[in-house]
Amino acid sequence: MELSKINRVYFVGIGGIGMSALARYFAKRGVVVCGYDKTHTDLTTTLESEGILISYIDDEASLPIAFQENYPDTLVVFTPAIPKDSKLLNYFKNNGFTLHKRSEVLGIISKGMFCIAVAGTHGKTTTSSMIAHLLTDTGFGCTAFLGGITTNYDSNVLFGKNDVVVVEADEYDRSFLTLHPDVAVITSMDADHLDIYGDESHLQESFHLFADQLKEGGKLFVKDNLPLNGITYSAMNESALKASNIRVADGNFVFDFTDGYTTIKYLSLAMPGKHNVENSVAAIGVALSLGISPKSIKKAVASFKGVKRRFETIVKTSNHIYIDDYAHHPEELRACFDAVRQLYPDKKLTVLFQPHLFTRTRDFADEFAKVLSTADEILLLEIYPARELPLEGINSQFLLEKITNDNKELCGKDSVVERIKNKNPELLLTVGAGDIDTLIQPLKNTLTNA
């Protein structure tokens, strides 16, 4: 389907972070946009305030008249998180509608545009958001579809006036193979989504296929330890692009950048952690490859405020520091814990973690336990199932028993705020990709008033 011929779009699962970005994009184009989601959230409320009609009833009777017939100018987009027995999903299938995944729609939009795609099992949301900000803040410009709400723009989609598009390329169910980028960044290839891929080798095979889809003459930036041929980058290791002299100053990470030709000194990044320094090295490399000046890049890096739920400081008072992060993979947890320790080495760290997916908890239980055991105090919520049905014997008690630190406990969502209030932690970190975000405001209120 050609972009110019799309006049109405329906999103099955419109409240997802990636889906909502597409919804906002099409609404901006003046297209009729409607959608369904299971629950009301802050994001769906925002979409409704922007004029997008959303139903919370999974039934074809809830469809607006514009989507009750299969018109040729209609696009139906769905997320794999929607259950296969969804009445709406099956209505569209049974009535001859062609259903598209988010990634396929990104392929339709980016066709004919200069596409910058960021892939990786972790780091892609922050890196793509950094690239989008560097291009926007320097005046170069871009349209961007991001997997998080950027703090600078309070949005997950940016609208540019040129033909440059920045997209977050999702490896889940090989979605990113619909893209053919001019510039690609691969941040990581750690084992994940083994419910889809089976094993790490098949996951890595998909990343190799993605790299092979780079347009002729395109540039591929890869983290230095990955088995791919591209322009390598790292924080401190020997690579084509690297950071050096990394230190903490006034709560920011300060570092120097070099690519062997250009050196930018005293860069200041408000997103803590060496992993975020590494993400910024990749973003700077992309910006330089587009001819953006080092001076403009340095200013843009300093003004980048981060992404909501990516090491987001919620409370910072004399008594309490509360940080929230989306980390849901052992490597992400490790990087997040390292960043916290670098900023606050003398404070007792209390971690509230919500495991995400039964299969991920099962596949990485030992790795999760090893990282979680390094916290001073651990509270576990029950596993957030997302798209999965329960697996026998796989629950948070199973994970808790593997944690070697004795200062650990299970906690229900309905009692955790009171539990945290009683503990009165000096440094609290909440981590997870499920609905743990619904606890952020109650925890903020509790710690702010403590």
pLDDT of 132 reads: 98
d(CA 387, CA 174): 17
pLDDT of 193 reads: 47
Residue 430 has which token pair? 């909440």
d(CA 380, CA 403): 11
CB atoms within 10 A of CB 402: 14
Q: Are 168 and 18 in contact (CB under 8 A)?
A: yes
What are the 10-residue block averages of pLDDT along the chain, 450 residues in total? 92 92 95 94 93 95 92 92 89 93 89 93 92 98 94 94 91 74 91 54 82 94 92 93 92 93 96 91 98 98 92 92 92 91 93 94 95 97 88 95 96 94 96 92 90
How far is the CA of 142 from the CAs of 64, 114, 166, 202, 344, in angstroms?
A: 33, 9, 7, 33, 36
pLDDT of 25 reads: 96
pLDDT tens digits, one per residue of 384-398: 998 788 999 999 999
Residue 383 has which token pair? 């596993």
Hey, what domains does the chain have and what are their CATH numbers? 3-101 (3.40.50.720), 112-303 (3.40.1190.10), 312-448 (3.90.190.20)
d(CA 447, CA 317): 9
Angle between helices 416-423 and 440-448 (to 10 degrees): 30
Residue type, 339: A
pLDDT of 237 reads: 86
Q: Are 372 and 378 in contact (CB under 8 A)?
A: yes
DSSP string, 62-112: GS-GGGSS--TTEEEEE-TTS-TT-HHHHHHHHTTPPEEEHHHHHHHHHTT
Q: What is the CA radius of gyration of the chain?
A: 22
CB atoms within 10 A of CB 161: 8
364 by Cβ neighbours in 10 Å (0-12 / 13-18 / 19+) ranks as buried
For 447, the 3-state DSSP assignment is helix
Give the DSSP H or E segment for 274: helix 274-289
d(CA 35, CA 44): 10
pLDDT of 172 reads: 63
Angle between helices 274-289 and 330-343 (to 10 degrees): 100
pLDDT of 42 reads: 86
pTM: 0.84
pLDDT tens digits, one per residue of 128-166: 999 999 999 999 999 999 989 999 999 999 999 999 999
Q: Are 405 and 372 in contact (CB under 8 A)?
A: yes
Phi, psi of 318 (to 5 degrees): -70, -25
The strand order across the sheet containing 32-36 reads 53-55, 32-36, 8-12, 74-78, 99-101
**Residue 216 region, left (φ>0) first, then alpha (ψ -120 to 50), else beta?**
beta
